[in-house]
Chains A and B, each alone.
Chain A
Amino acid sequence: DTGVSQDPRHKITKRGQNVTFRCDPISEHNRLYWYRQTLGQGPEFLTYFQNEAQLEKSRLLSDRFSAERPKGSFSTLEIQRTEQGDSAMYLCASSPTLVVVDTQYFGPGTRLTVL
């Protein structure tokens, strides 16, 4: 069990550029979650997958955001036409079971800075 990994750990981009983040969950974890954390705030839910199906999306997830989990393993989160307000830490988490609520294990996060 190597834990949840995220890549890259840091990303600096210019406003208007597209960025993509990757998350590798703990092996065989069915659920994968994306959260966003801004300075001084707790993580806020963006979206989650159960295997390859995207089951829920937050209102925070604008049309510029898209997430995929094509084979039910790793996931990508893409932000198109980045804005300065997108600057945040993007956290990925996974959980092992299909019960309604289970423990979520978090990765180290990707810190995005939009200039």
Chain B
Amino acid sequence: AQSVTQPDIHITVSEGASLELRCNYSYGATPYLFWYVQSPGQGLQLLLKYFSGDTLVQGIKGFEAEFKRSQSSFNLRKPSVHWSDAAEYFCAVGGSGYSTLTFGKGTMLLVSP
């Protein structure tokens, strides 16, 4: 079975500082990996995805993520956080044989002035 662990429930970052949100997955073959963002009371918006190829993927809003097979990780990064980035971030995994996605429990990002 596939699973996702997001070890940090909450993270607080100062505006302008860099950000890294951790995601570890468990999956037997090559995973399909996603990061979504959810603002309060809203649905999920796709930030970026990894299916194959270059292990460093670029997404919207200045986010990027790096797939590291040896560490079973897909961490999300942003060099300079803006107050509008405050939201909840979800990592998800899918793969061959699983048409659905398995999500982590999310990391709530708080941005301090």
Taking Cβ atoms with an 8 Å cutoff, the residues of A that contact B are: 4, 6, 31, 33, 40-45, 48, 55-56, 91, 93, 100-101, 103-109, 111
Contacts and interface: CB of A to CB of B under 8 A. Distances in A.
The 8 closest A-B pairs by CB, nearest first: A42-B103, A101-B94, A106-B43, A106-B44, A45-B100, A108-B43, A101-B32, A43-B103
B53 interface: no
Contact of A48 (B42, B90, B97, B100): B100
A89 to B, nearest CB: 8
Interface string B82-100: 0000000010101111111
B101 interface: yes
A33 B100 contact: yes
A103 B59 CA distance: 13
A33 B92 CA distance: 15
5 contacts: A42-B105, A43-B101, A55-B99, A91-B44, A100-B99
Contacts of A111: 41
A74 to B, nearest CB: 16
A59 B12 CA distance: 36
Q: Chain B interface residue count: which class? A: 20 to 34
A100 B95 CA distance: 7
Contacts of A44: 103
B49 A103 contact: yes
A41 B99 contact: no
Contacts of B103: 42-44
Contacts of A100: 94-99
